[in-house]
Structure 1
């Protein structure tokens, strides 16, 4: 009996030491730091074991065209603001004044921007959370919005459609993207956990793909990609990535987790679809069709030249 009591006490102490909130990425797990890595996030929060979790792998040939996925209406996305950029121990996050909104695009309501943050790999290697046909991009931006009538994210997350997140991929470029200079330069001041600094004026629009590329996107219902993994998110994943140089991508890997280790591999592995359907905008479908057409023409030309 005494042995059972001791075992129970040890188990409860381990639970307290890891803590419901003590979750980590796989890159943080070690013998010295036995935290709840992604496969055990349901220990940190039971929601993480749900059936509509994010991120996912988008299999483009299995997506369905949805005529309701029209172009978005971006309000005040061009407006500059001076925010605070912070190393929150898991990512880089910037709070956004609730002035920028999105509507249209098949969304059930108007949503206002709350914050944005990023997920990345190691030194410019694979690091996006979502993947497209198994391809993992170097980094992924999440612009988090909540329904316009809510005043805080906690309340919005109690609504099954209370949050809308825009996901934007990055690709490696031979030249630096000057639109990201303010963010990249600020990283030097927030290397340690809880470090924060003022961000020189930026707009959400300058973080996005070019306007003509914003009509091609994927849509599905999912969750937050960190604990508590609440399943209240309408996801939009833009097809066209934003270019950054390898030096810009590597700058994020110079940040540090709370234990001083490099902040790398800050992505959750893809989760099962569990029967969910992923939809595709008309723009994305047209783009795919034109790509296939060009491939067919190239193949035909090659065939005719060989005969």
Structure 2
């Protein structure tokens, strides 16, 4: 077989015909991925196939996976040409100019080409690898061959090929990348025509600001026939982020879509991670579908879940001690309608990550706190899901606003008894009768319903665990809180309510609840697919729960009655 033909066969997503002698495809032909293992001479039914779904709970850190050495990744003249071969769009590199070594690789490799995998639309993503079940919109592969080997030898050697995979994620914010805009200008539906690259584009320009120290490693195969089990795979943790419109150009201009192989069985292979890659310390959950359920959290290494200052608690109103020092809070940028940066499905909650500059002080806290994020706890359609309870009453939901002492690092704050301040707000349903009355007549606060509608509209985009979406709607924290009386609350010292349960939290639990439509609350379990995400109440162990001296605002109906009495008294005397 000629070298050019072999190069095509080595392309992890770029074959037209291989040694099988058969045509293959992703869709709309006889030899789709489900039948590749039957192709003559192919290894597609082997035990070391790619791509895979990387379960981060089963990944082990490897201290030997240190930094890569890249030669000419920054050169703007190494990309020779671009070609649409009917299976992918491939960028050919000039021979012998680009190299990869380090990163735990046992040899040096010559980089020969880059190519892409994509799906259909933003609702039908097309990356080949997955992370914890999540498929990204696109994936870019950089393919390198071990130096000193012929192409034939590389495909027959266990580590003959080194492939680096980069996930590609869409954004609607910011400017359109000039590099990716230039690249997509070459996309065409004309097959097998090599087009010279005239723009100055480097591999680093395409990778952008991805942290190249964070990656996963496993032994696998080519992801197209012949599926040779000859690949050392590096899958980078951080995605390349480019504008949504540029991603859409790949299926639109190339003329085909859904060009990715489904994930393959791991078959006992070990997936490793570089030391810099963030990994879950241990799998934990609220219920019975994992190793460490709530009753087992105390067994987690380096956890404090068996301590005597744990949260949440049941707040007994009659036992709460009035404290004059618990005054009004000062909230900085709670009224900023662009403060929510993104929403994440963590697998345990829905978390809203906030931009910098949001702060909380006052309220007897004694320090200024930087607001990091807010998240939710909920039950199911037939059960309540707040974490704290009041006189044993559990509310349908609870929202937590998490704040870190501004003068401490997060690591230090987690080890300081007042390092964190969490604001807890109960959420319950507004009845049909209450909806027809004004918020001033309800005697309880209502959130800005439009704000919560905007927030929950993003839930359908984060159905997969660890998926996230950027927030473009105007939503402020004040909008979500509505008219809750923020001067009436309970205070106690406690802990995080999830592992590692650090006893570093000054808790503020507000007395008034946020009122919202029940249909909006039900969207949380419906869209995420999990429910009853709350920790049970923990023992008080002698701790004191304090309460603000000021009474909660009286319901307006009572105020109206008092006004009528005053008017009656006025008429009696005059």
Work out whether the TM-score is over 0.5: yes
| 1:217 matches 2:473 | no
Q: Please give the alpha-carbon distance, in whole angstroms, between the structure 1 residues aligned to 2:315 and 2:365.
A: 20
2:349 to 66, 81, 91: 91
2:536 to 269, 277, 298: 269
Q: Does the 8 Å contact 1:118/1:141 carry over to 2? A: yes
Structure-2 residue corresponding to 1:189: 461
| 1:287 matches 2:552 | yes
Corresponding residue SS for 2:285? coil
Show structure 2 runs of 5+ residues with no match: 1-59, 61-279, 436-447, 559-574
TM-score normalised by L of structure 1: 0.80
Instruction: Within 5 Å, give how 1:77-116 maps onto structure 2.
Output: 77-81=334-338, 82-116=340-374
| 1:36 matches 2:292 | yes
Instruction: Within 5 Å, give how 1:111-126 maps onto structure 2.
Output: 111-123=369-381, 125-126=383-384
Q: Please give the alpha-carbon distance, in whole angstroms, between the structure 2 residues aligned to 1:265 and 1:34.
A: 15
1:159 Cα shift? 1.7
- Give CA-to-partner distance per residue, 1:122-174, whole Å, 9 cap, x none: 026300000011000000000000111234x3232122211000000001113
| 1:68 matches 2:321 | no
Q: Please give the alpha-carbon distance, in whole angstroms, between the structure 1 residues aligned to 2:552 and 2:407.
A: 35
Structure-1 residue corresponding to 2:478: 205
Q: Please give the alpha-carbon distance, in whole angstroms, between the structure 1 residues aligned to 2:481 and 2:544.
A: 25
With 168-177 and 78-87 compared, the bigger mean Cα shift is at: 168-177
Q: Does the 8 Å contact 2:458/2:469 carry over to 1? A: yes
Q: Please give the alpha-carbon distance, in whole angstroms, between the structure 1 residues aligned to 2:353 and 2:412.
A: 17
TM-score normalised by L of structure 2: 0.44
Show structure 1 runs of 5+ residues with no match: 1-15, 257-261, 295-307
Q: Please give the alpha-carbon distance, in whole angstroms, between the structure 2 residues aligned to 1:91 and 1:169.
A: 16
Larger Rg: 2
- Give CA-to-partner distance per residue, 1:239-278, whole Å, 9 cap, x none: 011111111011001234xxxxx31000000000000000
Q: Does the 8 Å contact 2:283/2:290 carry over to 1? A: no
| 1:245 matches 2:512 | no
Corresponding residue SS for 2:521? helix
1:99 Cα shift? 1.0
1:209 Cα shift? 4.3
Structure-2 residue corresponding to 1:298: none
Corresponding residue SS for 2:476? coil
Q: Does the 8 Å contact 1:89/1:194 carry over to 2? A: yes
1:90 Cα shift? 0.6
| 1:226 matches 2:498 | yes
Corresponding residue SS for 1:55? coil
Q: Does the 8 Å contact 1:124/1:249 carry over to 2? A: no
* Bigger RCO (CA 8 Å, 6+ sep): 1
- Give CA-to-partner distance per residue, 1:273-293, whole Å, 9 cap, x none: 00000000122xx239x79xx
| 1:24 matches 2:285 | yes
Q: Please give the alpha-carbon distance, in whole angstroms, between the structure 2 residues aligned to 1:205 and 1:159.
A: 29
Corresponding residue SS for 2:425? strand
Q: Please give the alpha-carbon distance, in whole angstroms, between the structure 2 residues aligned to 1:194 and 1:104.
A: 34
Q: Does the 8 Å contact 2:353/2:373 carry over to 1? A: yes
User: CA 1:222–1:118 in 2, change beyond 3 Å: closer, same or farther?
Assistant: same
Structure-1 residue corresponding to 2:236: none
Q: Please give the alpha-carbon distance, in whole angstroms, between the structure 1 residues aligned to 2:493 and 2:327.
A: 17
Q: Please give the alpha-carbon distance, in whole angstroms, between the structure 2 residues aligned to 1:149 and 1:280.
A: 27
Q: Does the 8 Å contact 1:111/1:145 carry over to 2? A: yes
1:177 Cα shift? 2.0
1:43 Cα shift? 1.2
Structure-1 residue corresponding to 2:385: 127
| 1:164 matches 2:421 | yes
Q: Which has the higher helix share?
A: 1
Corresponding residue SS for 2:457? helix
